[in-house]
Structure 1
Amino acid sequence: MNPILAILKEHNVSDTQINELFQTLTENPLMAMGTIGQLGIPPEKLQQLMALVMQNPALIKEAVEELGLDFSKVEAAKAQLQQ
């Protein structure tokens, strides 16, 4: 299992919440940050999660694909943020 998904499940984040989070990520990455804060994950685990993503950004792609979502939307959202 993808480490991002494993951390979320470890903190009792439901499959529905995980899917909603990644759906938000594909549509609006800035909103996803707010959603992550509402999941009730302890700050030290959030730091661990962010460190994982910073060290290996491909984990996001793997998680999106594992959830069956469209990664091209993540890329499009990322490009929009960089403009």
Structure 2
Amino acid sequence: MNPIIAVLKENNVSDAQITEVFEALTQNPMAAMTTISQLGLPQDQLQQVMAEVMQNPGLIKEAVDELGLDFSKVEAAKSQYQP
């Protein structure tokens, strides 16, 4: 299982909320940070999830695939934030 999804599940985040987080990541990665911060994760695990999201886009793709979402939206969103 994807480590980001695993941390969320360990903290009793529902499947619907997990899907919502990754849909937000595919549409607007910066706004998704707000969604993640509102999940009520302990501070240390919140920092871990935020670091994974920011530093390892491969994990995002893996999670998006695992959840059956559309990764092409992630690529489109990323291009909006690159100069």
Provide the residue aligned with 1:3 in structure 2: 3
Q: What are the within-5 Å matches in structure 2 for residues 32-47 of structure 1?
A: 32-47=32-47
The structural deviation recorded for 1:46 is 1.5
TM-score normalized by the length of structure 2: 0.90
RMSD: 1.2
The structural deviation recorded for 1:48 is 1.9
Runs of at least 5 residues in structure 2 that lack an aligned partner in the other structure: none
| Contact 2:33–2:50, Cα closer than 8 Å, also in 1 | no
The structural deviation recorded for 1:49 is 2.1
Provide the residue aligned with 1:64 in structure 2: 64
Provide the residue aligned with 2:13 in structure 1: 13
Runs of at least 5 residues in structure 1 that lack an aligned partner in the other structure: none
TM-score normalized by the length of structure 1: 0.90
